[in-house]
Amino acid sequence: MAITKLPKSVGIIFKHNFEPARTECQRLKDWFTQRGVTVYTEEMASRSYLSQCLEEETGIPDTVDWVVVLGGDGTLLGAARKVGRYGVPILGINLGGLGFLTEIPLKRLYKDMEKLIAGEIEIETRLMLEASVLRDNEEKCRFSVLNDVVINKGALARIIDLRVSIDGRFLSTFRADGLIVSSPTGSTGYNLSAGGPILYPNLEALILTPICPFALTQRPIILPYTSVIEIKMGENSEEVTLTFDGQVGFDLMDNDSIIVSKSKKKLKLIKSPDQDYFDILRTKLKWGESSYNKTSG
């Protein structure tokens, strides 16, 4: 899929409390306005903690043709939760180092914008996750995320018991510090740090990865994208938090059930024309920086 015309309206979401992002937002707004494009802007909020999970509010209307994100991967994750449900293409501009999601550096912003309008840049579709929390058979929380849903215990809390079923069939009870359910896009995040596999980002699959399991034989597992994962909290689950993309938190209680599945919403991500996913992996994970680069004695 490609874009072949100038949009009628765009949204610009920029990094929270970061002056270079605010400055560039104004410059980009002027660039669009000079071309007759209506622009809506919004500063990304800081991380939040919820007593009740609701769709995050945004000042960007659902009628925009594109959304441009100025910041890093964290800013784009927040934007995905806010406007991903609109189904509009999102262009991530990285104001720092190379990102897995914000691939385009600031110095190429306007050059790549012209390529985008000319139809020379493709749009990739990414699977999103939906998670809900049931407490006494009542839904307390529902949220859509791009990267991952994580159950994690507090620093001083005891190990927790997590009874996991897939499509109603019992898988195992994980005794661990926590559990990660990741999308392919999120596979290079917390999942990777916990020993989970890297999945190509536009695959459709779910990854279940335990965090520091008590039994070393409990390993990550890749599941079909159609799977419905149910995680039942055990007794005496003290100081346990459910987090969404590492940015939004919700307190869990004994016997809560967390249901995670593929969301009906999908993210449309505008891709960099000058590098592919493997370029990013090599750069971010420093693949190839080994003895091959050293001269032998």
Q: Point out the residues that are catalytic.
A: 73
Neighbouring C-beta atoms of residue 131, cutoff 10 Å = 25
Strand partners of residue 268: 89, 125
Q: C-alpha angle with apex 131: 245 to 259, nearest 5 degrees? A: 135
Neighbouring C-beta atoms of residue 183, cutoff 10 Å = 29
- Which amino acid is residue 90, in one-letter code? I
- Determine how β-strand 160-166 pairs with β-strand 9-14: unpaired
Within its chain, how far is the Cα of 248 from the centroid? Answer: 12
